[in-house]
């Protein structure tokens, strides 16, 4: 059987009971991380700009965008969810292929579930299958596909969205083959967009296009039958080398979700071990920030190439400053979205500690490591060696740490008590009668208020 | 200046007076050919299926689809125009890069013009600039880009649609750079889709995505500044070799429209010289079809590989039968869409002549040539050697032949007198006060009737 057919057949015929418990739990971890990122990114100007440009072209406004007041049709809502969940570069990473797979898959699914009645169990299963489809397509072409310049979150995300939505709308095996083919022929996204809004556009457009692929296939819009493995298909055209066996090997047994990782800090990953160690010092030693006279870092040489900015005034610059990361870790004991604002960068205490920091590149220090020495007034020295950075596959965020990350982001849009209820709903997502209830809980309070009183065009619609 | 910037700057600053007369005329030839193909393809099930799947997601229905009664938002109308104009494989070809460039560019433009007031001169200028942008991007990466398996009509069309719509909505140079970047990062379309509806989806999605790129850029959605030439941009990622100088060399002086060609027959191009010669025999010798006892063809060996089907029953098979092409040429004196229906393939007279035909592959005969001998009852022999096939760059269709091709397609949807008025409007497009009038004339008569009596939601809307 061809790879496209085998994958399609797996997606349409999987049963909930076939999914191991640990994979179900990891799916919930991925989803709580996703929802937090989507809400946290939702006020970003990239989202506002995209809604301003394309909102006027929205169809019937039956869907919601996580964290936003505007309503859109489900395809446009998929696009906006994708932009918001990726725009802070804070979403998950599958180290096997360095993709951020949850964003395109979950963006389409939450848009769908905001406009249609979907049981939680079906939702989580569709997410697991869509994630697996996208990640396996990615494994097939990684690394040559990534190395040449494709942004995999875009190029493979479209398969995941097609698979997930196709599963929910009940595609046949033949229709799923077409949906994957229509996904393949829309696969796009260039790394040249990094540093612009175009980067976050990728998972959004993937979500929207994969969703549309499933709808087209359901209506009988045909595609090539060998979209993934054909001689003019995705894997051959878009990668210099490929291993198609990665589509089918141990399909339904191994799950890439098991290898998924979550960033603890919204900045360049090479800064993470330093921030991690500084937060440890803050939490355990509680040094008075005013007493810090020097911070000495020994880091991987790559850090000095990428993140050697000290005289900074903008939040975005903070993401590329290992000194800023150390300073917020030591002063505030955290490094969430609010530690990368202009305000935080110009906070006098943070600024003073940042300017007291020095760093040396040391080839003996790996990119997951950092060696930190903090000197206090009076000469006392606090030291820390971070061997594995928090958030990598060997030191994953705990469920509680994921919740803390969630709180930090969701608080930008939601009142504190609403954040707690939403966390509770996320952990229970597989038991919900209707995932739309979770989406409603992830909207700004003024919108939910309106929905409760059934203002026309705001209340979520039933499936017809 | 970078190639993307140079191209953007050219597109936004060109003046109508800068376009030579012969290019203006060729643009009108390309547009009359396009409109005929769009109307002729509009009843195709690929269009009906796509409207069924995505029509429910349409925004405000301010736009028309050429040849169709349904109204959609302009982005969805762009998609449908692109599908219909390419689905019969009857649209134009730029032999420099073997792309069908008019379809994605004009599909977006006519959708735009059906919903917004656009002067004919501005429309034609935007078409010329969009065509040139797409074709030059294509020249840069041809042939390696095509050879690996990209369907260039999709991959380069998105640049053309972005350029054309961006020009009409008055993007600044910076915004046009973003529009081209957002086009680059949506560039997609695999040749694996050939033989399915997915092929015609490519120019449609390109038109829609290029249009959206222009809207996003106008709103301030940013993209990488070097979408075409950057080290992770279109040309490097999507082609094994490239010549970026083809973007800028003699820009504004050379126009690829001058090399554009138009298919005289809706079938595999290798059959064209045989059909051409048989129509010449029909027109000049008027043989009684009943008297034909044998048809002997000497053709390029490739014809025997691709089009050696004689026992056929379906219209689609006729496209791959050199015998059928010879038969309809001799019996009907034409080979339009109606000669490739199931009815035509099973027409007893056509069938008899087809079965009387034999063919031999001859390496001395080029793919533009055919040597034909028709033997009549009584022994008379009619012979013809076609040296250059009608429709190639050395024997282009005349304006009258383009009109005849147009009539053949438009008659599927429009009454004869309406076809003649529409032809007249197409030749005058650059003088129209409002191109929407031409779109209205290209709709089924029952829709136009409604529009005249201003039934809500059908009459074309003014720009607001």
CATH number at residue A379: 3.30.1330.120
The answer to the question of residue B186 being in a domain is yes
Concatenated DSSP letters for A291-318?
GEEEEEEEE-HHHHHHSB--S--SHHHH
Q: Using CA atoms, how far apart are residues B125 and B16, in angstroms rounded to an integer?
A: 6
Q: Report pLDDT for A57.
A: 98
464 residues of chain A, pLDDT tens digit each: 899 999 999 999 999 999 999 999 999 999 999 999 999 999 999 999 999 999 999 999 999 999 999 999 999 999 999 999 999 999 999 989 989 999 999 999 999 999 999 999 999 999 999 999 999 999 999 999 999 999 999 999 999 999 999 999 999 999 999 999 999 999 999 999 998 999 999 999 999 999 999 999 999 999 999 999 999 999 999 999 999 999 999 999 999 999 999 999 998 888 999 999 999 999 999 999 999 999 999 999 989 988 998 899 988 889 889 999 999 999 999 999 999 999 999 999 999 999 999 999 999 999 999 999 999 999 999 999 999 999 999 999 999 999 999 999 999 999 999 999 999 999 999 999 999 999 999 999 988 766 544 433 333 433 33
Q: Report pLDDT for A451.
A: 54
* b/e map B156-180, b = 16+ CB within 10 Å: bbbbbbbbbbbbbbebeebbbbbbb
Q: Report pLDDT for A268.
A: 81
Q: What's the gap between Cα A177 and its chain centre?
A: 27
Segment B80-102 mean pLDDT: 94
Whether B50 sits inside 8 A of A221 (CB atoms) is yes
Interface check A52 vs B, CB under 8 A: yes
Domain that holds residue A317: 269-386
Q: Is the pLDDT assigned to residue B186 strictly greater than 60?
A: yes
Residues of A in Cβ contact (< 8 Å) with B59: 56-59, 73
Between strands A292-299 and A71-72, the pairing is unpaired
Half-sphere exposure of A392 (CA within 13 A, CB side): 14
Do B137 and B275 belong together in one domain?
no
Residues of A in Cβ contact (< 8 Å) with B50: 216, 219, 221
Domain boundary among A238, A259, A280: A259
Phi, then psi, of A408 in degrees rounded to 5: -60, -40
Do A43 and A155 belong together in one domain?
yes
Domain boundary among B205, B236, B259: B259
Do A153 and A18 belong together in one domain?
yes
Do B86 and B39 belong together in one domain?
yes
Residues of A in Cβ contact (< 8 Å) with B146: none
Segment B41-60 mean pLDDT: 98
Q: Report pLDDT for A457.
A: 38
The answer to the question of residue B397 being in a domain is no
Residues of A in Cβ contact (< 8 Å) with B221: 46, 49-50, 53, 197-198, 201
User: What pairs with residue B371 in β-bridges?
Assistant: B298, B385
Would the ipTM clear 0.95, i.e. be above it? Answer: no
Chain B nearest-CA distance from A428, in A, is: 31
Local confidence band at B450 (pLDDT 50, 70, 90 cut-offs): low
CB-based contacts of A425, cutoff 8 Å, min separation 6: A432, A437, A438, A441
Between strands A370-376 and A292-299, the pairing is antiparallel
The answer to the question of residue B323 being in a domain is yes
Do A275 and A240 belong together in one domain?
no
The Cα angle at residue A137 between residues A131 and A140, in degrees rounded to 5: 135
Local confidence band at B310 (pLDDT 50, 70, 90 cut-offs): confident
Whether A222 sits inside 8 A of B194 (CB atoms) is no
Chain B nearest-CA distance from A56, in A, is: 7
In chain B, the number of structural domains is: 2
Domain boundary among B386, B414, B432: B386
Q: Report pLDDT for B451.
A: 54
Q: Using CA atoms, how far apart are residues A251 and A236, in angstroms rounded to an integer?
A: 21
Do A196 and A304 belong together in one domain?
no
What's the CATH number where A78 sits?
1.10.4100.10
Residue A143 tokens read as: 């690394």
The answer to the question of residue B439 being in a domain is no
Do B42 and B170 belong together in one domain?
yes
**Cβ B232 vs Cβ A191: under 8 Å:** yes
Of A49, A201, A215, the CB nearest to B185: A201
Average pLDDT, chain B: 95
Q: Is B330 exposed, middle or buried (0-12, 13-18, 19+ CB in 10 A)?
A: buried
The answer to the question of residue B303 being in a domain is yes
Half-sphere exposure of A197 (CA within 13 A, CB side): 22
Segment B310-337 mean pLDDT: 93
Whether B149 sits inside 8 A of A205 (CB atoms) is no
B378 conformational bin, left if phi > 0, alpha if psi -120 to 50, beta if neither:
left
**Cβ A92 vs Cβ A260: under 8 Å:** yes
Among A277-286, B92-101, B120-129, the minimum mean pLDDT is found in: B92-101
Q: Report pLDDT for B462.
A: 36
A306 vs B225, higher pLDDT: B225
Local confidence band at B249 (pLDDT 50, 70, 90 cut-offs): very high
* b/e map B37-51, b = 16+ CB within 10 Å: bbbbbbebebbbbbb
Find the closest chain A residue to B152 by CA distance. Answer: A185
Do B188 and B330 belong together in one domain?
no
Q: Report pLDDT for A13.
A: 98
Do A233 and A276 belong together in one domain?
no
Interface of B with A in 71-110 (CB under 8 A): 73-75
SS3 assignment, position B294? strand
Q: Report pLDDT for A1.
A: 82
Do B186 and B103 belong together in one domain?
yes
Q: Using CA atoms, how far apart are residues A192 and A50, in angstroms rounded to an integer?
A: 19
Do B76 and B104 belong together in one domain?
yes
Q: Is the pLDDT assigned to residue B268 strictly greater than 90?
A: no
A426 vs B454, higher pLDDT: A426
The answer to the question of residue A449 being in a domain is no
Residues of A in Cβ contact (< 8 Å) with B234: 190, 192
| pLDDT (tens digit per residue) in B398-419 | 999 999 999 999 999 999 999 9
The answer to the question of residue A219 being in a domain is yes
Q: Using CA atoms, how far apart are residues B54 and B79, in angstroms rounded to an integer?
A: 10
The CA-atom distances, in angstroms, between B370 and each of B93, B275, B289, B352 are 21, 9, 20, 21
The answer to the question of residue B275 being in a domain is yes
**Cβ A50 vs Cβ A199: under 8 Å:** no
Of B74, B215, B223, the CB nearest to A198: B223
Do A274 and A176 belong together in one domain?
no
Interface check B120 vs A, CB under 8 A: no
Local confidence band at B456 (pLDDT 50, 70, 90 cut-offs): very low
Percentage with pLDDT > 90 across chain B: 91
SS3 assignment, position B156? coil
């Amino acid at each position: 059987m061809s790879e496209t057919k085998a994958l399609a057949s797996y997606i349409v015929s999987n049963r909930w009971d076939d999914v191991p418990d640990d994979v179900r739990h990891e799916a919930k971890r991925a989803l709580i991380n996703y929802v937090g990122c989507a809400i946290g990114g939702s006020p970003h100007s990239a989202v506002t700009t995209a809604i301003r440009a394309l909102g006027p072209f929205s169809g019937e406004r039956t869907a919601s965008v996580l964290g936003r007041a505007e309503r859109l049709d489900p395809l446009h809502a998929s696009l906006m969810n994708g932009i918001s969940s990726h725009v802070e570069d804070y979403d998950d990473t599958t180290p096997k292929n360095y993709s951020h797979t949850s964003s395109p898959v979950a963006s389409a699914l939450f848009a769908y579930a905001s406009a249609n009645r979907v049981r939680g169990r079906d939702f989580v299963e569709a997410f697991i299958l869509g994630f697996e489809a996208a990640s396996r397509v990615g494994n097939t072409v990684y690394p040559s596909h990534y190395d040449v310049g494709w942004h995999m979150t875009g190029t493979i995300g479209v398969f995941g969205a097609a698979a997930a939505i196709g599963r929910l709308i009940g595609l046949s095996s033949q229709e799923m083959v077409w949906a994957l083919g229509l996904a393949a022929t829309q696969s796009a996204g260039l790394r040249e967009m990094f540093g612009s809004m175009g980067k976050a556009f990728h998972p959004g457009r993937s979500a929207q296009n994969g969703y549309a692929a499933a709808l087209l296939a359901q209506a009988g819009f045909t595609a090539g039958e060998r979209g993934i493995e054909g001689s003019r298909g995705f894997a051959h055209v878009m990668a210099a080398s490929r291993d198609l066996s990665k589509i089918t090997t141990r399909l339904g047994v191994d799950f890439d979700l098991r290898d998924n990782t979550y960033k603890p800090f919204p900045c360049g990953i090479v800064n993470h071990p330093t921030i991690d160690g500084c937060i440890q010092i803050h939490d355990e030693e509680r040094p008075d920030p005013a007493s810090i006279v020097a911070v000495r870092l020994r880091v991987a040489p790559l850090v000095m190439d990428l993140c050697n900015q000290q005289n900074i005034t903008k939040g975005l610059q903070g993401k590329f400053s290992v000194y800023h990361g150390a300073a917020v870790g030591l002063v505030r004991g955290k490094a969430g979205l609010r530690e990368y604002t202009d305000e935080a960068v110009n906070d006098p205490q943070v600024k003073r500690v940042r300017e007291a920091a020095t760093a040396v590149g040391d080839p003996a220090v790996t990119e997951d490591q950092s060696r930190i020495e903090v000197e206090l007034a009076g000469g006392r020295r606090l030291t820390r060696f971070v061997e594995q950075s928090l958030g990598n596959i060997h030191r994953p965020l705990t469920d509680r740490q994921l919740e803390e990350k969630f709180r930090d982001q969701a608080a930008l849009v939601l009142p504190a008590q609403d954040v707690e209820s939403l966390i509770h709903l996320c952990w229970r997502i597989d038991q919900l009668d209707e995932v739309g209830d979770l989406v409603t809980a992830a909207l700004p309070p003024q919108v939910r208020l309106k929905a409760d009183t059934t203002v026309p065009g705001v209340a979520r619609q039933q499936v017809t």
